[in-house]
Structure 1
Amino acid sequence: MKAVVICPGRGTYNKTELGYLQRYFPDAALLSRLDDQRRCAAQPTLTELDQAARFSIARHTRGDNASALIFAATLGDFLSIDRSAIDIVAVTGNSMGWYSALACAGALSPHDGFRVANTMGTLMQRSLIGGQLIYPFVGEDWHPQPERREALIDAVEDIASRPGHALFVSIELGGMLVLAGNEAGLSAFEAVAEPTQQRFPLRLGNHAAFHTRLMAPVAEQGRDALPASLFGNPVLPLIDGRGAIWWPGATDRDALYAYTLGTQVTETYDFTRAITIAAREFAPDLFIITGPGTTLGGAVAQSLILSGWRNMASKDDFRAIQTTQPLLMSMGIPEQRASSTGFREA
């Protein structure tokens, strides 16, 4: 069975994920080495965070802690996939999940991938420039509404043109837009956006203005802290946040480094495009979303609908396919993890 693996980003290690590494991480020696890296940086270890008596929003969702936990959970799930049953044809990720994807695809070693994710998460937390919010342009039926999206883009551009207002499209996330900017820009959007689905527009706690030019100082700090020598050729095809494919044996290390610690940090991350390219170029039987969390499935399905994959045009169309022959599996859902052929429990 051919599969594309998708690595989740920030906001996916929450209260229900507490203990995820203890339950699922398959390599105790590797986890110990990652703990040592955190210990050397005078940071709480993954084991301490994951095995805490209770989940703390203030502690566990901080960029320096959340990025480390999410990377480790993703890597552990990737290592748990039975490669004799699952042929992984490509790897991609959402936002911070790009760092995880680099390690899963072999462009970074597990140790160096953790170093990159932990360093960037720490730098983001120290700066904490701006913020993010999320807002949908599709209804609850997930039917594409391009005119609605265009109206939202017009509103973003109008707000961004005002003195003192910064607002950008941070992530194209299926049927949703993740917007980022300064407080003036975010508040102005909240003032004009019609409340919908009982929770949007939704501010994302402990998130900075990721994937915008406001992050240029953080990108520069990342390049100062992380050498290009950490990077190498992937062993699996990698699909980035523009939909570009980095091929094994044909990847320029310096270009990959420049994208990862430059473009990827300061420009819109088009996750929708990445999923579209994954479907059209690799035609997988299955999309596997690693843990932690269970929140990325909707965005993947919406991205496939927006791309017209298998003639899907709505949530009902996706459900019909998913019911008869599962197209999407989430390792963060215990039932799917346990019942999906090819997954080994730790």
Structure 2
Amino acid sequence: MKTAFLYAGQGSQTVGMGKDFYDNYGSFRSFIDSCDVANPDLHLKEKMFEGPMEELSKTQNTQACMAAFAAATTQLLYENGIRPDVTCGLSLGEYGALYAANVFSAEEYVRLTAFRGRVMAEAANGIACAMSAIIGTQAEVVERVCREYTGPGYVTATNYNCPGQYVICGDEEAVTNAEALLKENGARRVVRIAVSGPFHTKFMAPAGEQLREYFAKMAFAKPQIPLLLNVTGDYYNEADDLKEILVQQVQSAVRMEAQIRKMLETGVERFIEIGPGSVLGGFVKKTARAMGMQVDIYSIDTMEDFVEMLDEIAGENNE
């Protein structure tokens, strides 16, 4: 069965994430311990397991913690004979997908995401922003309202998650005004999302420039498995400049729905979300339903989720 690994984005973090894996799987424990030794200034284990949530949710902390969890969980999947045929991730999660595709090492992955989180936090400093999920409308409506908005401030579409669910972000006043306009244009509901910065907007351009400088010192390997990209919503091809795409990714919209559709169209039947959380699994479910398709979706948040998934896959393989 063609399998995709999906890597969760920032916002899915929870205090205690990975603690049950750490206590029960030696390889997971060794990986997290080695991350702490290699990056003593990050205090990853302490933030992951003890928090507090306020500290864990600071962008400069969240990204490296999420990366450590994702890389250690990926290693457990490999140890149990489960490997992806294709991979992608949402925002920060795209770096997990690049790691799964062997573009860079686990050590580089954690260090790079720590840097990315720091420069994104710096770029967001002092900006009064807001983010809102727009439910029950079409992408074209969201784009048109943002494009035609002429009031104070700036607002843009930042996430195309799944059919009927899109996200806008920008200056707080502009987002508030755009929410009202979208309701007038038929949106069923708008939901404010807690966010620490105007991510995937033009305000992240300074972070993009710092990432470009960081990437200049790195060697990216060619992806070893098919990989989908946030910026294009399509599969990576050899003409793509991954480094430049990642520079643009931090300041451009994430086209998750398009990526999911591409995977479904190319025969992916099993999706394994490497969390914590189950947000991406929900996006897959809604997109597959809209396409009239049924797929297997597993979200690895806890050790219980992981064991249950292994049992179900083993059962499928024995049929």
* Coarse TM-score class (shorter-chain normalised): 0.7 to 0.9
Shift of 1:131: 3.6
Match of 1:295 in 2: 279
Identity of aligned residues (%): 20
Shift of 1:125: 1.4
Match of 2:242 among 250, 253, 256: 256
Match of 1:316 in 2: none
Q: Does 1:341 align with 2:300?
A: no
Q: Give the TM-score taking structure 1 as reference length.
A: 0.79
Structure 1's 38 and 191: CA in aligned 2 closer, same or farther, altered over 3 A? farther
Match of 1:268 among 253, 273, 278: 253
Match of 2:234 in 1: 244
Structure 1's 230 and 131: CA in aligned 2 closer, same or farther, altered over 3 A? farther
The answer to whether the Cα contact below 8 Å between 1:35 and 1:46 also exists between their aligned partners in 2 is: yes
Structure 1's 333 and 22: CA in aligned 2 closer, same or farther, altered over 3 A? closer
Match of 1:173 in 2: 161
Once the two structures are superposed, what CA deviation does each residue of 1:19-65 show, in whole Å capped at 9, x if it has no partner?
A: 366357734443233213432xx33x11111231xx42321110011
Structure 1's 232 and 24: CA in aligned 2 closer, same or farther, altered over 3 A? farther
Once the two structures are superposed, what CA deviation does each residue of 1:120-143 show, in whole Å capped at 9, x if it has no partner?
A: 1111112225545232433xxxxx
Structure 1's 263 and 231: CA in aligned 2 closer, same or farther, altered over 3 A? same
Q: Which residue type is aligned with residue 338 of structure 1?
A: V
2: CA distance between counterparts of 1:229 and 1:16? 32
Deviates more, 1:86-95 or 1:329-338: 329-338
Once the two structures are superposed, what CA deviation does each residue of 1:221-254 show, in whole Å capped at 9, x if it has no partner?
A: 122234353311122211111223236xx476xx
The answer to whether the Cα contact below 8 Å between 2:281 and 2:297 also exists between their aligned partners in 1 is: yes
Structure 1's 36 and 226: CA in aligned 2 closer, same or farther, altered over 3 A? farther
The answer to whether the Cα contact below 8 Å between 1:2 and 1:86 also exists between their aligned partners in 2 is: no
Residue 88 of structure 1 aligns to a residue in which SS? coil
Shift of 1:297: 1.8
Structure 1's 171 and 331: CA in aligned 2 closer, same or farther, altered over 3 A? same
Once the two structures are superposed, what CA deviation does each residue of 1:59-80 show, in whole Å capped at 9, x if it has no partner?
A: 1110011111111111122111
Shift of 1:279: 1.6
Q: Give the TM-score taking structure 2 as reference length.
A: 0.85
Q: Does 1:213 align with 2:214?
A: no
The answer to whether the Cα contact below 8 Å between 2:228 and 2:234 also exists between their aligned partners in 1 is: yes
> How do 1:88-127 residues align onto structure 2 when only pairs under 5 Å count?
88-127=84-123
Q: Which residue type is aligned with residue 296 of structure 1?
A: L
The answer to whether the Cα contact below 8 Å between 1:85 and 1:341 also exists between their aligned partners in 2 is: no
Shift of 1:187: 2.5
Once the two structures are superposed, what CA deviation does each residue of 1:162-215 show, in whole Å capped at 9, x if it has no partner?
A: 3x4111111111131121112222222344454999984213232x22222221
Match of 2:213 in 1: 224
1: CA distance between counterparts of 2:303 and 2:7? 17
Structure 1's 131 and 274: CA in aligned 2 closer, same or farther, altered over 3 A? farther
Match of 2:10 in 1: 10
Once the two structures are superposed, what CA deviation does each residue of 1:286-312 show, in whole Å capped at 9, x if it has no partner?
A: 011012122222112223334x1xx24
1: CA distance between counterparts of 2:57 and 2:156? 23
Match of 1:33 in 2: 34
Shift of 1:339: 1.6
Match of 1:286 among 246, 258, 270: 270
1: CA distance between counterparts of 2:253 and 2:11? 18
Residue 245 of structure 1 aligns to a residue in which SS? coil
Match of 1:19 in 2: 19
Q: Which residue type is aligned with residue 179 of structure 1?
A: I
What residue ranges of structure 1 are gaps of 5+ in the alignment?
139-144, 313-320
Structure 1's 288 and 87: CA in aligned 2 closer, same or farther, altered over 3 A? same
Q: How many residues align?
A: 307
What residue ranges of structure 2 are gaps of 5+ in the alignment?
315-319
Q: Which residue type is aligned with residue 203 of structure 2?
A: L
2: CA distance between counterparts of 1:79 and 1:18? 13
Structure 1's 338 and 251: CA in aligned 2 closer, same or farther, altered over 3 A? farther
1: CA distance between counterparts of 2:7 and 2:76? 14
Q: Which residue type is aligned with residue 234 of structure 1?
A: P
Q: Which residue type is aligned with residue 10 of structure 2?
A: R
The answer to whether the Cα contact below 8 Å between 2:271 and 2:281 also exists between their aligned partners in 1 is: no
The answer to whether the Cα contact below 8 Å between 1:294 and 1:333 also exists between their aligned partners in 2 is: no
Match of 2:47 in 1: 49
Match of 1:317 in 2: none
The answer to whether the Cα contact below 8 Å between 1:132 and 1:178 also exists between their aligned partners in 2 is: no
The answer to whether the Cα contact below 8 Å between 1:107 and 1:233 also exists between their aligned partners in 2 is: yes
